[in-house]
Amino acid sequence: MRESETGPDISSSVSLDELPSGEWVLARVLGLDEDRNISRVEVLHHSLNRKEVSKALRSIHKSDPGAHLTILLAGSRPGSGDEFQEALKRIADEDYVNARW
């Protein structure tokens, strides 16, 4: 998504599930569930480059300091407790990688 003179382009047509795994996502929080976890977002910007997403975040925050924003890393999310446990086991079995973003 490009940034125009009036600010970043906002697209609600992009779903988090449609973004490639490993892509950084800047999103506006639209709703929380009863446990105050983020339940709905509007994707504002996405890129493989984390610095690009941070730049978009600063731009939006400058124009709207009260905006409830979050940065997420796109990828597959386990849907159930069992799927989550399987994902944890799979990750534990992998070689350690010191990720530096």
User: Would 2 be classed as within a structural domain?
Assistant: no
Q: How many domains does the chain have?
A: 1
Q: Confidence class of residue 14 from pLDDT cuts 50, 70 and 90?
A: low
SS3 3: strand
| 59 pLDDT above the threshold of 90 | yes
Considering only CA atoms, which of 41, 45, 10 is closest in space to residue 25?
45
- What's the gap between Cα 38 and its chain centre? 11
User: Would 27 be classed as within a structural domain?
Assistant: yes
The pLDDT value given to residue 10: 42
- CB neighbourhood size of 74 (10 A): 18
User: Would 3 be classed as within a structural domain?
Assistant: no
The pLDDT value given to residue 76: 62
| Residue 88 to residue 32: CA distance in whole angstroms | 25
| 63 pLDDT above the threshold of 60 | yes
Domain of 32 in residue numbering reads as 11-93
Q: What is the pLDDT of residues 17-54, one digit of tens each?
A: 677 788 899 999 888 888 887 778 888 998 989 999 99
Instruction: Report whether 46 contacts 53 (CB < 8 A).
Output: yes
User: Would 15 be classed as within a structural domain?
Assistant: yes
SS3 51: helix
The pLDDT value given to residue 8: 39
User: What angle is formed at CA 56 by the lines to CA 26 and CA 28, rounded to 5 degrees?
Assistant: 35
Average pLDDT score over residue span 77-85? 74
- What's the gap between Cα 100 and its chain centre? 17
